[in-house]
């Protein structure tokens, strides 16, 4: 007896089987068959090997043949798509009985089963075929010859069996097609989906979106606590336990989860919208949970960013209105004449608007010193206003404040200083000391009329000193030597004042 296994030849057993078998490749070419298959079809092995299944057996042509081919091909494709057996309880399929023979109307019952390799890939399809033509003809009522010798009962019984087989076949086809369609929808769904079974929430099915969500890990067949251990000390295990115990679904909206989102990566913070829906058996008992949802991380982050932008916009609008109000009040005090007030007020608003435009182009990330002063320099030409210094970035509030200072310095120079005469010029120099992070800027006027120190400070001078002290957290020193006015302003680079406060 111990030598039976050694003596067993699977190929001989396959060929000796009384049941008809044929083996097909995944592209539906004939790879082999046994003797019973050749006997039932009356064909020769050499005539079939390597040929396309539907070239070798075309179903007889015509509409009936096309429908037969469709049913048979659909069954084989379901095997390739699902990796599971598929059955055809009854199919009419005309075959050529012997090479060059006539097409004969036959009825078959067939089962298609996948043959896989060690990696689970389908290598072949095994078709087991049974010829049930005699049973089908027993119920054929189209023959004009009346039944004799008791065959009426046989015909009635055979007809009922045939009709029942046809109904079962139609129902099986419909169910199989629906199953394939549902699996296709499950696989192609843009949101993540998973089916968990039992109280341990074992992964039975996951779609590609779910696999991407969990870093392309192979979780099928594993309880969730083993498959996704990083969820420990987060609420998800307990939520699943509660859904399974109570049968009540759970809906999570923008729930934060720390999840390994990339292969071999560290857990990342994600925000998910999802539903845990209980799955019940025929008796109403909860046997699993259906998980469905989508990654809402980008939406949550965009919403938070939008809120920050709105809050920042409200803050900036409030500050800008306060600045405009203060400019209006102080300009009115210094210019009682309505025409002169309008001119000065408009010029200051334009200067403020220019700096706003600079910041808008950088999405309010800040601006550099050269860009802030370039507006005033371009109004008088590079030969009259020269800008010298390294690239130094300013935060938004500091840029706005320095822009107002630049405008007041230029306005004062045009009215009373070097820019009021054709020969005068202005040198603007700045330097940055990385040791203490401070900026020192010097506005020096040369070649203008002789300078005299004013008896009192005007609005422009007060604005410069106030802005330097309060908005820039620095200091401004204004000097009036006879050869030309000099303003020295020093302030820290990283200061960003919460408010633009002008002199009241």
Per DSSP, the residues of 175-190 read: HHHHHHHHHHHHHH-S
- Where residue 250 falls among pLDDT bands split at 50, 70, 90? very high
What 257-262 contacts at long range (C-beta under 8 Å, 24+ apart), as own/partner pairs, is 257/231, 258/230, 258/231, 258/234, 259/213, 259/214, 259/215, 259/228, 259/230, 259/231, 260/214, 260/215, 260/217, 260/228, 260/230, 261/213, 261/214, 261/215, 262/215
pLDDT > 90? residue 490: yes
pLDDT > 90? residue 196: yes
pTM for the full predicted model: 0.44
Query: Can you say how many angstroms the Cα of residue 31 is from the centroid of all Cα atoms in its chain?
Result: 44
pLDDT single digits (tens) 457-475:
877 888 889 889 988 999 9
Give the pLDDT confidence score for residue 345 in this predicted structure.
Answer: 64
- Where residue 153 falls among pLDDT bands split at 50, 70, 90? very low
Give the pLDDT confidence score for residue 107 in this predicted structure.
Answer: 82
Contact by Cβ (8 Å): 247, 286: yes
pLDDT > 90? residue 439: yes
Give the pLDDT confidence score for residue 280 in this predicted structure.
Answer: 93
Burial of 503 (0-12, 13-18, 19+ CB in 10 A): middle
Strand partners, 258: 269
pLDDT > 60? residue 2: no
For the chain, give the mean pLDDT.
Answer: 81
- CA-CA distance, 62 to 103, in Å (whole number)? 12
Contact by Cβ (8 Å): 201, 247: no
Give the pLDDT confidence score for residue 177 in this predicted structure.
Answer: 66
Q: Hunting for tokens 């990696």 — which residue is that?
A: 119
- CA-CA distance, 409 to 468, in Å (whole number)? 13
Give the pLDDT confidence score for residue 502 in this predicted structure.
Answer: 38
10-19, 350-359, 413-422: the lowest-pLDDT one: 350-359
Residue predicted with more confidence, 378 or 47: 47
36-40, 116-120, 165-169, 441-445: the lowest-pLDDT one: 165-169
Give the pLDDT confidence score for residue 101 in this predicted structure.
Answer: 63
Residue predicted with more confidence, 79 or 343: 79
pLDDT > 70? residue 367: yes
Residue predicted with more confidence, 248 or 133: 248
Residue 335's Cβ-side half-sphere holds a number of Cα atoms within 13 Å equal to 18
- CA-CA distance, 33 to 132, in Å (whole number)? 19
pLDDT single digits (tens) 25-64:
999 999 999 998 998 888 889 989 999 999 888 877 777 7
Strands 250-260, 95-96: pairing kind: unpaired
- Where residue 210 falls among pLDDT bands split at 50, 70, 90? very high
Q: Where are the beta strands (DSSP E) in 29-162?
A: 30-33, 86-92, 95-96, 103-104, 107-116, 122-131
pLDDT-above-90 percentage for the chain:
37
Residue predicted with more confidence, 252 or 186: 252
């Amino acid at each position: 007896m111990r030598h039976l296994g050694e003596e067993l030849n699977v190929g001989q057993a396959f060929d000796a089987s009384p049941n008809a078998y044929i083996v097909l490749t995944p592209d539906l070419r004939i790879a082999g068959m046994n003797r019973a298959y050749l006997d039932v079809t009356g064909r020769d092995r050499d005539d079939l090997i390597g040929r396309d299944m539907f070239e070798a057996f075309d179903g007889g042509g015509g509409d009936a043949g096309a429908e037969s081919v469709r049913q048979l091909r659909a069954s084989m494709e379901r095997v390739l798509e699902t990796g599971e057996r598929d059955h055809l309880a009854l199919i009419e399929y005309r075959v050529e009985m012997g090479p060059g023979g006539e097409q004969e109307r036959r009825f078959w019952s067939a089962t298609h089963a996948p043959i896989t390799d060690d990696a689970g890939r389908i290598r072949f399809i095994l078709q087991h075929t049974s010829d049930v033509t005699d049973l089908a003809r027993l119920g054929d009522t189209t023959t004009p010859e009346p039944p004799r010798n008791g065959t009426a009962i046989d015909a009635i019984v055979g007809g009922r069996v045939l009709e029942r087989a046809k109904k079962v076949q139609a129902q099986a086809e419909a169910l199989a097609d629906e199953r394939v369609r549902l699996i296709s929808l499950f696989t192609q769904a843009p949101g993540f989906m998973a089916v968990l079974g039992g109280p341990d929430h074992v992964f039975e099915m996951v779609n590609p979106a779910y696999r991407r969500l969990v870093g392309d890990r192979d979780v099928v067949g594993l309880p969730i606590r083993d498959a996704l251990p990083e969820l420990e000390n987060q609420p998800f295990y307990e939520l699943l336990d509660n859904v399974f115990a109570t049968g009540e679904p759970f809906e999570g909206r923008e729930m934060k989860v720390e999840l390994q989102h990339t292969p071999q990566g560290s857990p990342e913070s994600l925000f998910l919208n999802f539903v845990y829906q209980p799955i019940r058996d025929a008796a109403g008992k909860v046997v699993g949970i259906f998980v469905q949802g989508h990654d809402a991380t980008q939406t949550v982050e965009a919403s938070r960013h939008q809120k920050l932008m709105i809050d920042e916009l409200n803050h900036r609008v409030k500050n800008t209105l306060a600045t405009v109000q203060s400019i209006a009040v102080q300009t009115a005090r210094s210019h009682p004449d309505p025409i002169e007030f309008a001119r000065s007020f408009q010029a200051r608003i334009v200067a403020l608007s220019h700096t706003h435009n600079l910041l808008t182009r950088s999405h309010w990330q800040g601006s550099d010193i050269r860009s802030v002063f370039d507006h005033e320099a371009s109004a008088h030409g590079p030969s009259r206003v020269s800008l010298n210094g390294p690239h130094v970035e300013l935060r938004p509030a500091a840029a706005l404040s320095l822009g107002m200072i630049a405008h007041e310095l230029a306005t004062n120079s045009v009215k009373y200083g070097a820019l009021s005469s054709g020969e005068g010029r202005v040198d603007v120099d700045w330097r940055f000391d990385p040791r203490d992070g401070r900026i020192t800027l010097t506005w020096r006027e040369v070649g203008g009329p002789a300078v005299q120190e004013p008896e009192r400070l005007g609005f422009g001078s007060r604005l410069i000193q106030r802005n330097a002290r309060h908005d820039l957290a620095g200091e401004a020193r204004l000097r009036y030597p006879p050869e030309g006015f000099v303003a020295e302003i020093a302030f820290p680079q990283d200061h960003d004042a919460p408010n633009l406060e002008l002199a009241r």
